Amino acid sequence: MNDVPFIDFARRWVVLTGASSGIGRAIAVELARCGARVVLTGRNEQALKDTQAQLAPDTSRIVVQDLRQIDTLSALIRDHVREHGRIYGLCYCSGVVETRPLASFQASGFRDMIDVNVTASFELARAICRRDVMTEDGGALLFITSIYGTVGMPGQMAYSATKGALQSAARSLAIELARRRIRVNTLSPGLVHTPMTATAFSLLSKEQIHELESSHPLGPGEPEDVAKAAAFLLAPQSRWITGTDLVIDGGYTAR
């Protein structure tokens, strides 16, 4: 009987943004469980330490980083390679969301959302895909987007625009980077129970919450549901999957 696991990162390094809590924390745990070494990035050092405490020893390192400081991201990657070795992949799990109808749209807020949700992800991808940075036999990029990149939702015009931008960009990058055996995919979750979701729910009525939850035939998801899908798409064993957006939404978009 073959005891070799299907997913095995064999101690390859994966840079993970948004590792402080929620989906990002669950992805960190899953990647480490599947044999990856994970660069945990986020703004809150204590929260990152809490994530690291859930991982096996010698499977991660912490880098405190504000993604709005885009000009510093390339140096972050160079420093890692110099001290710890080449990088196999990127899982971009950071995101800013602000619910605003068109009537209250603010250009300044949208620019902030673009910086975190889109521009920083491109800059990190550029830095990691350098020939002297990425593992020589190729690698993988994964952007965590949202079903709101493809379906409409009142008040989410700006957020949806950024997530749709990532989905489109990933398809182009998948073609551009294929010759170097670098795969590029996106993962689009529906409603997932996270601390961010709990904060958003605190502003809604019980009826509104019920409507959101019941719109997912299998009910809301948990961070671990997204994490397992993320590990699958990033894994070296998924070598023939690129340019794909995997929707994981409990049937929301199948209605």
All structural domains of the chain with their residue ranges: 13-244
Q: What percent of the chain has pLDDT over 90?
A: 77
| Integer CA distances (angstroms), 52 to 32, 62, 99, 213, 224, in order | 10, 8, 31, 31, 16
Nearest CA-CA partner of 12 in 128, 122, 175:
128
Give the active site residues: 159
* Pairing mode, strands 37-42 and 13-16: parallel
Mean pLDDT of 127-137: 97
Task: Give the CATH number of domain 13-244.
Answer: 3.40.50.720
Strands (E), the chain: 13-16, 37-42, 60-64, 89-92, 139-144, 182-189, 245-248
Question: How many Å apart are CA 148 and CA 150, to the nearest integer?
Answer: 5
Q: Note the Cα 201 to chain centre separation in Å.
A: 22
Mean pLDDT of 120-127: 98
**75: number of Cβ within 10 Å:** 10
pLDDT confidence band for 1 (50 / 70 / 90): very low
pLDDT confidence band for 3 (50 / 70 / 90): low
* Pairing mode, strands 37-42 and 60-64: parallel
Structure tokens at 100: 């605003």
Nearest CA-CA partner of 117 in 167, 177, 57, 52:
167
Mean pLDDT of 134-159: 92
Query: Per-residue pLDDT for 4 more than 70?
Result: no
Mean pLDDT of 172-195: 95
Task: Check the CA dihedral 212-215-217-222 and report its sign.
Answer: negative
Higher pLDDT, 21 or 205: 21
Query: Per-residue pLDDT for 2 more than 60?
Result: no
Query: What 3-state DSSP class applies to 250?
Result: coil
Q: What are phi and psi of 136, to 5 degrees?
A: -65, -25
**What's the pLDDT tens digit per position in 55-110?**
999 999 999 999 999 999 999 999 999 999 999 999 999 988 777 788 888 888 88
* End-to-end CA gap in the chain: 41
pTM value is: 0.93
